[in-house]
Amino acid sequence: MQEWANQLCENRQFGSKMTDSKYFTTTKKGEIFELKAELNSDKKEKKKEAVKKVIASMTVGKDVSALFPDVVNCMQTDNLELKKLVYLYLMNYAKSQPDMAIMAVNTFVKDCEDPNPLIRALAVRTMGCIRVDKITEYLCEPLRKCLKDEDPYVRKTAAVCVAKLHDINAQLVEDQGFLDTLKDLISDSNPMVVANAVAALSEIAESHPNSNLLDLNPQTINKLLTALNECTEWGQIFILDCLANYTPRDDRESQSICERVTPRLSHANSAVVLSAVKVLMKFMEMLPKDLDYYGTLLKKLAPPLVTLLSAEPELQYVALRNINLIVQRRPEILKHEMKVFFVKYNDPIYVKLEKLDIMIRLASQANIAQVLAELKEYATEVDVDFVRKAVRAIGRCAIKVEQSAERCVSTLLDLIQTKVNYVVQEAIVVIKDIFRKYPNKYESVIATLCENLDSLDEPEARAAMIWIVGEYAERIDNADELLESFLEGFHDESTQVQLQLLTAIVKLFLKKPTETQELVQQVLSLATQDSDNPDLRDRGYIYWRLLSTDPVAAKEVVLAEKPLISEETDLIEPTLLEELICHIGTLASVYHKPPSAFVEGSRGVQHKRLPGSAGSGESVESPDTGSAAGVSDAPPAVIPSQGDLLGDLLNLDLAPPATTTGPPPPTSSGMQMGAMDLLGGGLDSLMGDESEPPPIPLRTDTPQSPQLPHQSPSPPDYSPTELGGDLGGSPAMGAGFGAPPAAMPASFNAPVSGGLDDLFDLGGGVGMPSGAYSPPKSIWLPAMKAKGLEISGTFARRAGVVQMEMTLTNKAMSVMTDFAIQFNRNSFGLAPAGPLQVLTPVSPNQSIEVALPLNTVGPVMKMEPLNNLQVAVKNNIDVFYFSCQYPISMLFVEDGKMERQVFLATWKDIPNDNESQFQIKDCHLSSDAASSKLQGSNIFTIAKRTVDGQDMLYQSTKLTNGIWVLAELRVQAGNPNYTVSLKCRAPEVAQCVFQSYEAVLKN
C-alpha cells in the first residue's frame, strides 16, 4: 500500500494535470469493453488515458482484473509515466493472476538493463513488490545486476528489494548470496545506499535474531558514522538505530562514537533527535562519571529535549513519554529545566498529565518551593481529572522530598478549606500516605480531616478516612461514633470501604476494648454472616478467631508496626527501564511496554539491555558476537530460600509422572512444564485409585537436566553426569567407582595424607551401627502462608528408602481434602514414589501424620544450596508452595563401603584441589563411638590407625546417583574438636556432606 501511494504521488510529477479527478467520476456501464478497445489502440495518448481510467477504477475498488493481458501489453513503452501506471496495476493484481504475471517478466528483465536509471530502479522495485513465488526466480539475475549498478539510486532501491525478497523466500536470498552483497553495500561510497543496506539488513535480522547479519565491528561503525552526516533523515534514523545495537569495546570507543553522533541532536526532525538520544543514553553507560566529557554530554542532551516540547501537542506527548524514561534513568540531565514542564493553560489533558508526572520525578529540595506553588495553582483549575492529579502530586512531593513535607501538608490543608468536594477527597487520600511515611508527625491535622467526614462519597476517600480513624483511634475521642456512622450503610459500601472498616473497628477494639465490644461484634457479624464477599468473610473469620483464641497475638498482628511507604512507588522496574531506554523513539517508549508485549507474532523480538557501566567488570562484547559465543542475557534463576514462597509456578509440572523406559525427554520450553491449570484438576490424577499408585518412570540412563526458563544455560563445572551415575575419572578407575580398578599402581611408597600405605595392616576397630540419624521435625509451611494448612516435617532413611515424614495440621475453619504433592526439579532427582496418602479428610484443629516414600529418578537440576527442595502441595482449597532442605545423609546408600585397595587408588587419583577440610567442634565421642554412629547413616569406616595418640578413620560413602565421597576423620583423645578431610570428584557436595557429619556426630 505504501509503495502504491508513493507511485501515485510520483505520477503527479510527470505532467499529470489537476483535472485527473475526471477519471473517478464516470459511472458508465459496459466500461470494461470500451477500456479494452482503448488499451489496444494504436494512439499512445489514448492508451495512456485508458490506463489512467483503469487505475482510477482499481483505486475506488472496482474489479478490473479482466483487463490484465491488455494492460500488460502497454508495458512496452518508453513513456515513464505510462510505465509507472502499468507497474502499479501489476503490483495490485499479480497475486490474483500469477500465471499472467509471468508474461510481464521479460519486460522487467529488459527494463532492468534500460539506459535510464529511473526505469531500472522502477523495474527492480516493482519486481520486489510482486509477491508471487513463480516470479521471484526470474528476479534474481536482474537484482544481482542492480545491486552492482553504477547508479546509486538503482543500488539503494535494489538493497530494499533484497529485504522484500527475503520476506517472500528467505532460502533463495541466502542461496543466491544476496546477503553478502548487502553487507558489501555498507562500504558503498553513497550514504543513501549505506542507509538502505543497513535498513534492509536490520529488517532481515529482526526476523532472524540469531543470524548475526549485522556483524558490527569498529571498521563498519566508522563507515556508518561517515555516511551519517550526508544521509536523508530516514537514512540517519536507520543508521542511528543500527549504532544503538552495537556495544563498544571500551570507554574510549564509546566516547568517540558519542562525539560523532552529538551533532544529530540539533537536527530539525524529532525522530532523528530521539534516535541520537537513544545512542547517547546507551553509550553513556560505559563512560566513567568522573570524565569531563560525561558532564559535557549531560549538558548537551538537555537543549534538544527541551526543543522537542515546542512542537505540536502530539509530538510533545511522544517527546514527554520518552523524557519520562530518560528522567527515571538520568534525572541529572534535566534537573535545571523544571520550568519547561510547567503546564500551559491550552495544553491538551494528555500533555498536562505527562508534564505533571515528570515534574514530580524532577522535584528536589532545590526546586520544591517553585513546584509546590505551581501545583497549588493547578489545584484550582476547572479540569477535574487534572486537579485530582495535581493534589496527588503534592502528596508525592511530600513523600519524595522530606524537607518539603510540612509545607505540602499545609498546602493540602489550605485546599481542604476550599471545601471543593473532589479536592477534599483527593487531599484526604494523599494525607493518609503522608501519615504512613511520617508516623507521629502530622497527626495534629486529624481534627480538620474529621470535620469533612460527611462530605466524602468516593470509596477511596472514605477508605482512607476510615484507615486514619482506626490507626489513630486513641487520639480521637469519638472514634467509635465516627466508625459507627459508617456501619449504618455497611452493605451499600464498596468492598474497599467494608474491608477497611472491619480492620479499623478491630484496631479500635484492641485499643479500647471495654467501650467497643458491641461494635466489634456487630461488624464481625456483618462481615461473616451477612456478606457474600469471600475476601470480607475470610478476613472477618480470621479476626474473630484471633480475638477469641489469643488477644495478645491479635494485638501483635493487627497493631504491628507498618513499613514506611517508599518514595517512588510508580517507577518502572529497572530491567524493563533498561530495555525501554534501548527502544527510545519507538512505540515501546510511548506505551512504556517492551515490543514483545504489543507486537503480534513477535517471533524475533530480542530483549535489549544497556551495556555494563565503566568499571563494573561486566562483559562488554557486541551482542552479535556474544550470541555466537553462547553468552546468555537471561537473568540468573533466583531460588527462594527456605520458607519463601516459590515464585515461578511454571517450573512445577503438576502432572502425574509418565511411564518411560529411556531418559526423560528434554522439555522444549519452560512453558510446557506448567501449561496445565494448577488450580483446576491438574493434581486430581495423582489422587486416583489409592490401591494402585501411578507408574514410576524407570531410569536406565543418567537423567539429563532440562533447563529452567530463567536458568543460565551452563552452570559452571557442574554437568548432569557429575550428578548422575558415572564419575568417569582416570583410566585406572574403569567405568566408575563401582567397579574395581583395571590395574593397580605398582607401589604405594609415596606418603599420602599421613601414611595411607599402612591401611592394609590396620585392624578395623569398627563398632556396630547405632541406627540412622533423622533430624527433628521443623515447620516447613506456616499456617499463615497456606490458608490454615501447617506442614512440619523431616526426612528419614528407613530400610534403604528415603521418606518424607510430615505432620499436616488444619488450622482453618473448613475441612481439608484431596491432598497431592509434587516436587520441582532438584540436584539429586528426588521425586515422590507414589501419591500422598491422606485417606481421610482433615477436620479443623486436626493433625495427621503422613510418610511419603521418595525415589531418585526425577528430573535433575542443580539447586542453590545443593540440598534445596521446592515443593507444591495441593488440597481442595488451593495450591501452596514451600522449600525445605533435606540432609544429604538421606541419600547415602547401603553399599557405600569401598574395598581398601580401591579406596587408596581412588584417594590418590582424585586431584588435591578437590580436597576440602572442615572442623567439627564440641564433639565428645571416642573414635569407635563416632565410627559406629556414622555407620548407622551409611558412612563406612574402611580402616583406622593411631599416630601420636590421634585416631585417624578412613571412610567412604556413596550417594544415590553414584558419587563417591572419601573421608579422613581425625579424633584426638581429650580434644573435643575433630578434623574431617573430604575428597570427591564433585567437590560441590563436600559442604553438604560435612553438614551431615556434624549433624550425625552431634545428635
Identify the helix (H) or strand (E) that includes residue 333.
none
Residue 523 inside a domain? The answer is: yes
Domain that holds residue 413: 363-457
- Distance in angstroms (rounded) separating the CA atoms of residues 178 and 157: 14
**In-domain check, residue 490:** yes
Same domain (yes/no): 814, 869: yes
Q: Rounded to an integer, what is the distance from CA 776 to the centroid of its chain?
A: 39
Strands, sheet with 778-781, edge to edge from the N-terminal-most edge strand: 778-781, 789-798, 801-810, 847-855, 831-832
From edge to edge, which strands make up the β-sheet containing 879-885?
820-823, 868-874, 879-885
Q: Same domain, yes or no, for 499 and 525?
A: yes
Domain co-membership, 420 together with 514? no
Which residues, listed in sequence order, are joined to residue 795 by a DSSP beta bridge? 804
**Does residue 84 lie in a domain region?**
no
Residues 816 and 854 in one domain: yes
Sheet strands (E) in 84-141: none
User: Residue 50 domain-assigned?
Assistant: no
521 within domain boundaries = yes
Domain of 844, CATH number, reads 2.60.40.1150
Q: Where are the beta strands (DSSP E) in 252-343?
A: none
Distance CA 355, CA 776 (A): 60
CATH number at residue 965: 3.30.310.10
Answer for the pair 865, 992: CB distance below 8 angstroms, yes or no. yes
CA–CA gap between residue 413 and residue 444 (Å, rounded):
11
Contact 498, 533 (CB under 8 A): yes
Which of 434, 457, 480 is at the close of a domain? Answer: 457
Beta-carbon contacts of residue 937 (< 8 Å; ≥ 6 apart):
772, 773, 797, 889, 892, 996, 1000
- Alpha-helical segments (H) within 478-533: 479-487, 495-511, 517-528
Q: What is the pLDDT, as a whole number, of residue 209?
A: 65
Assess whether 413 and 507 both reside in one domain. Answer: no
CA-to-CA distance for 183 and 204, rounded, in angstroms? 12
Whether residues 803 and 861 fall in one domain = yes
Q: What local confidence, expressed as pLDDT, does residue 954 receive? A: 92
Q: Which pLDDT belongs to residue 21?
A: 58
Q: Do 876 and 932 belong together in one domain? A: no
Opening angle at CA 589, ends 583 and 590, nearest 5: 150
Q: Has residue 464 been placed in a domain?
A: yes
Together in a domain, 880 and 912: no
Helix (H) or strand (E) holding 628: helix 623-628
Let me know if residue 962 belongs to a domain: yes
- Do 531 and 495 share a domain, yes or no? yes
Of 841, 871, 886, which residue sits at a domain end?
886
State whether 820 and 831 are in the same domain.
Answer: yes
- In the prediction, which pLDDT does 39 show? 78
Which has the closest alpha carbon to 189: 155, 163, 157, 218?
155
Let me know if residue 826 belongs to a domain. yes
> What does pLDDT average to in each consecutive run of 10 residues of the chain (1003 residues)?
52 48 55 78 79 83 80 76 81 75 76 84 82 75 85 89 84 83 84 87 78 76 84 87 85 88 89 92 85 86 89 91 91 87 89 90 87 87 87 87 86 86 88 85 82 84 90 84 84 89 91 86 88 90 89 86 72 85 90 85 61 51 38 39 36 39 40 34 35 37 37 36 35 36 37 39 41 85 89 91 92 88 91 89 90 91 89 91 91 89 88 88 86 90 86 91 90 86 89 89 83
Domains: count for the chain: 4
Q: Are residues 449 and 502 in the same domain?
A: no
Domain finish residue from 502, 526, 549: 549
Element of type H or E holding 441: none
Residue whose entry in the numeric block shows the C-alpha cell 528430573 = 859
Residues 895 and 998 in one domain: yes
Residue 454 C-alpha from the chain's centroid:
46
Helix (H) or strand (E) holding 930: helix 927-936
Contact 618, 626 (CB under 8 A): no
Three-state SS sequence of 697-743: CCCCCCCCCCCCCCCCCCCCCCCHHHHCCCCCCCHHHCCCCCCCCCC
> Whole-angstrom Cα distance, residue 338 to residue 399?
19
Cα angle 645, 649, 655; round to 5: 125
